[in-house]
Amino acid sequence: QNRVFSGVQPTGNLHLGNYLGAVSRWVPLQDQMETIFCVVDLHAITAGFPESGVLRDATREVTAAYIAAGIDAKKSIIFNQSQVREHAELAWIFNCVARMGWLNRMTQFKEKAGKNRENASAGLFAYPNLMAADILAYRATHVPVGDDQKQHLELTRDIAAKFNNDFGASIKDLGLGVPNPTPSPEVPEQVYFPLTEPMIAGPATRIMSLRDGTKKMSKSDPSDLSRINLRDDAEAIAKKIKKAKTDADALPSETDGLKERPEADNLVGIYAALSGKSKQDILDDFGGQQFSAFKPALSDLAVEKLSPMTGEMRRLMDDPVEIDKVLKDGAERASAIAEPILKDVRAIVGFLDVR
Ligand code: AQP
């Protein structure tokens, strides 16, 4: 059975990259597979504890963004991670499955810890193990994310494969194995965890900063001009696109001409993703034109596509009780899936069950 899991951290400044690279791509999946969307608040404390109340507000804001973007709380499960204990429990077991060498290779840790690595939290280092637990606590088969999460998803597959191999005999003896749904030489025929498939595709897998086409658009960039926030109004969106860094040349007529032009490539990619077309389609319309003509068209499109969503987000945020109800219902439905999986995992690992 195919099952989708994905999430966003409630770390504030939800932006166009989060929307185009992740949330907007989840919407059509709801009609194709079972879908679980999490607000990953346990991840949000790995870079430091926010001040009181901030995390709660940000958790509701991400939930509102999910709903406003078209995630239907009846079709999908929407919940916040800390409400389902199984995430933390499985993450601990995965801390003991993953190897230090694997985690040492994670580029996101290196980027986020920066030079002062000794002072980074152990949670930031073990972040990918918690992400593997998020996914595998539901034995999810598909994870739609932006390109920056590719390495973490490879680690999730490594953890699943090692668990399946190390506990192969136990899985078989307890009769808990299922035929390997993603056949590969790395894993036995009977496995407990699937090797999750990353879903990273389309023109918006990595939206770049509006101030520097070589840097990812990010919540934590100190420059607000670097990103379009989902909370921005039409005026702010227009201002940021107008000020977006570009080179001085006209747009090319073929995508090959975008290769050495990261800022142009980024703006064309944003236009393509917002309009549901390919980059070549956009260049067919705008090739040969200057940014002075392209930018206003991009602004109009961004405002047209984002305004209904941001309006709906604001409306939802005015009624936190309604949002909390969605999260409560989601947490109950998520627990109903994760609890029996963790019961199996405890038995496979060999913990004594006396209750
Ligand atoms: N620039 C981006 N382009 C495309 N997709 C992106 N995502 C994030 N940035 C971009 C995708 O959004 C989802 C949720 O991301 P997250 O909040 O869990 O983590 P993050 O990658 O740490 O987000 P930020 O915005 O970049 O925050 P900071 O500043 O803290 O580093 C994921 O699917 C991610 O791929």
pLDDT-derived band at 321, boundaries 50, 70, 90:
very high
HSE-CB of 61 using CA atoms within 13 angstroms: 17
Mutation probe of ligand 1 site: the residue of 15, 23, 148 with most atoms within 8 A of C-beta: 148
Residue 341 lies in a domain: yes
145 lines ligand 1 (CB under 6 A): yes
> Checking phi first, is residue 29 left (phi over 0); if not, alpha (psi -120 to 50) or beta?
alpha
Q: Is residue 219 part of a domain?
A: no
For residue 303, the Cα-to-chain-centroid distance in whole angstroms is: 23
> Is 331 inside a domain boundary?
yes
Going from the Cα of 179 to the center of ligand 1, the distance in angstroms, rounded, reads 34
4-52 pLDDT per residue, tens:
999 999 998 899 999 999 999 999 999 999 999 999 999 999 999 999 8
Tally of domains in the chain? 2
Catalytic residue set = 112, 216, 219
Three-class SS of residue 220?
Answer: coil
Residue 227 CB partners (closer than 8 Å, separation 6+): 13, 15, 16, 17, 209, 210, 217, 218, 219, 221, 240
Which helix (H) or strand (E) element contains residue 322? Answer: helix 320-349
Confidence at residue 187, expressed as pLDDT on a 0 to 100 scale: 66
Tell me what pLDDT residue 251 has: 97
Q: Which domain holds residue 80?
A: 3-200+319-349
Q: Judge contact between 47 and 92, C-beta under 8 A.
A: no
Those residues whose C-beta lies under 8 Å from the C-beta of residue 115, and which sit 6 or more positions away, are: none
Mean pLDDT of the chain: 95
Tally of CA atoms within 13 A in the half-sphere of 247 that contains its CB: 15
The answer, yes or no, to whether any atom of ligand 1 lies below 6 A from the CB of 11, is yes
> Residue 111 Cα, ligand 1 centroid: separation in angstroms?
13
256 and 118, same structural domain?
A: no
The answer, yes or no, to whether any atom of ligand 1 lies below 6 A from the CB of 22, is yes
> What band does 189 get if pLDDT is binned at 50, 70 and 90?
confident
> 92: which residues sit within 8 A by CB, 6+ positions away?
none
> DSSP letters along 74-105, please?
TTSEEEEGGG-THHHHHHHHHHTTS-HHHHHT
Ligand 1 close to Cβ of residue 150 (< 6 A)? no
Q: Which residue has the higher pLDDT, 135 or 51?
A: 135
Same domain, 178 and 277: no
Kindly give the distance from the C-alpha atom of residue 46 to the centroid of ligand 1, in angstroms, as a whole number: 15
Pocket test for ligand 1, best of 13, 15, 18 (most atoms within 8 A of CB): 18
C-alpha of residue 132 to centroid of ligand 1, in Å? 17
Only one residue has tokens 């963004």, namely 65
Both 168 and 297 in one domain: the answer is no
User: What integer pLDDT is reported at residue 203 of this predicted model?
Assistant: 84
Whether 218 is in the pocket of ligand 1, judged by its Cβ within 6 Å, is yes
ipTM computed for the complex: 0.95
Q: Does the CB atom of residue 209 touch ligand 1 within 6 A?
A: no
Residue from 38, 42, 49, 50 nearest 8 by CA: 38
- 269-314 pLDDT per residue, tens: 999 999 999 999 999 999 999 999 999 999 999 999 999 999 999 9
What is the CATH classification number for the domain harbouring 134?
3.40.50.620
**d(C-alpha 267, C-alpha 271), whole Å:** 6
Residue 319: alpha-carbon gap to chain centroid? 25
Note the Cα 232 to chain centre separation in Å: 21
The residues that bridge with 198 in the sheet, in sequence order, are 143
**Which pLDDT score is estimated for 67?**
98
Residue 103 sits in the same domain as residue 40: yes
206: Cβ below 6 Å to ligand 1? yes
Is the Cβ–Cβ distance between 295 and 229 less than 8 Å?
no
Query: Using 50, 70 and 90 to split pLDDT, how confident is the model at 188?
Result: confident
Examine the domain organization and report whether 243 and 160 are in the same domain: no
Q: Whose CA is nearest to atom 12 of ligand 1?
A: 18
Q: How confident is the model at residue 229 (pLDDT cuts 50, 70, 90)?
A: very high
Choosing from 219, 226, 266 the residue with most ligand 1 atoms within 8 A of its CB, the one to mutate for a pocket test is: 219
With beta carbons less than 8 A apart as the criterion, state whether 302 and 241 touch. yes
Q: Distance between CA 285 and CA 153 in Å, rounded?
A: 36
Please compute the mean of the pLDDT values over residues 323-330 and round it to a whole number.
98
Residue 82 φ then ψ, to 5°: -65, -15
Residue 215 lies in a domain: no
Residue 25 lies in a domain: yes
- Cα(351) to centroid of ligand 1, in Å? 36
Q: What is the mean pLDDT of residues 221-246?
A: 96
Residues 309 and 330 in one domain: no
341 Cα to the center of ligand 1, angstroms? 28
The reply to whether 112 and 261 lie within a common domain is no
- Give the model's pLDDT for residue 238: 96
Q: Is 25 in the pocket of ligand 1 (CB under 6 A)?
A: no
Looking at residue 180, what is its pLDDT? 79
In a domain, 274, yes or no: yes
Q: Note whether 332 and 280 are same-domain residues.
A: no
Band of pLDDT at residue 183, cut at 50, 70 and 90: low
pLDDT in the model for residue 13: 87
Burial letters 180-196, b for 16+ CB under 10 A, else e:
beeeeeebeeebbbbbb
| Segment 100-105 mean pLDDT | 98
**Look-up: residue for tokens 């998803």?**
153
Q: Is the pLDDT of residue 186 over 80?
A: no
Maximum distance among all alpha carbons in the chain? 73
pLDDT digit string, tens, across residues 196-228: 999 998 888 999 999 999 999 999 899 999 999
Assess whether 100 and 156 both reside in one domain.
yes
Residue 207 placed within a domain:
no
Residues 30 and 95 grouped into a single domain = yes
**67 within some domain:** yes
Q: Identify the CATH number of the domain in which residue 265 sits.
A: 1.10.240.10
Same domain, 323 and 309: no
Residues 128 and 49 in one domain: yes
Residue from 189, 98, 175 nearest 347 by CA: 175
- For residue 182, what pLDDT is reported? 67
Decide if pLDDT at 344 tops 90. yes
The answer to whether the CB of 203 falls within 8 A of the CB of 2 is no
163 contacts 123 by C-beta, under 8 angstroms: no
> How far is the C-alpha of 83 from the C-alpha of 42, rounded, in Å?
10
In ligand 1, the atom with minimum distance to the C-alpha of 15 is 25
